[in-house]
Amino acid sequence: MTDTNAATTNTHEAKATFGAGCFWGVEAAYRQIPGVLSTAAGYLGGTMKNPTYYDVCTGRTGHAEVVQVTYDPSRVTYDDLLTVFWENHDPTTLNRQGPDVGTQYRSAIFYHDDAQKAAAESSKEEREKAGRYRRPIVTEITPTTEFYMAEDYHQKYLEKRGLSSCHI
């Protein structure tokens, strides 16, 4: 299943897409934010059409596990969503988050338009200059490509199990 790549679907909705390791915890973090209308776990940034979880886990499709966030920009800003992104993973580990290793777990911001690209680049630069991290930030900032919805059992995975987070 694919989804639109337009950043703004109407005047009260916009999309943002983030890869920050395993999508279960990332999705749970975004679902807590007032103004987030929905989230979807999925795959983005690869070459294979309609990949499955097992395809992506091989590391050969080029996809990242991502969360696509649909939000109301009058209630939550893209900058706010970027803050959640930076605060919920380690952007200095290349192709790894905690015990999860592989390109599918890379730190990535997939922008939907030029405004998101500029905001993401500025946000990354601010964090690099702040010196918060001992290592360089390796987060990629790249245009959104076709989004593929992950299998149903991955959607709201932690919520279905009565959990609110799976932080490292």
Annotated catalytic residue 166: no
Please identify which residue in the block is written with the tokens 């987060």.
139
Catalytic residue from among 7, 14, 22, 28: 22
Residues whose CB is less than 8 angstroms from the CB of residue 10 and which lie 6 or more positions away in sequence, other chains included:
none
Q: Which residues are part of the catalytic machinery? A: 22
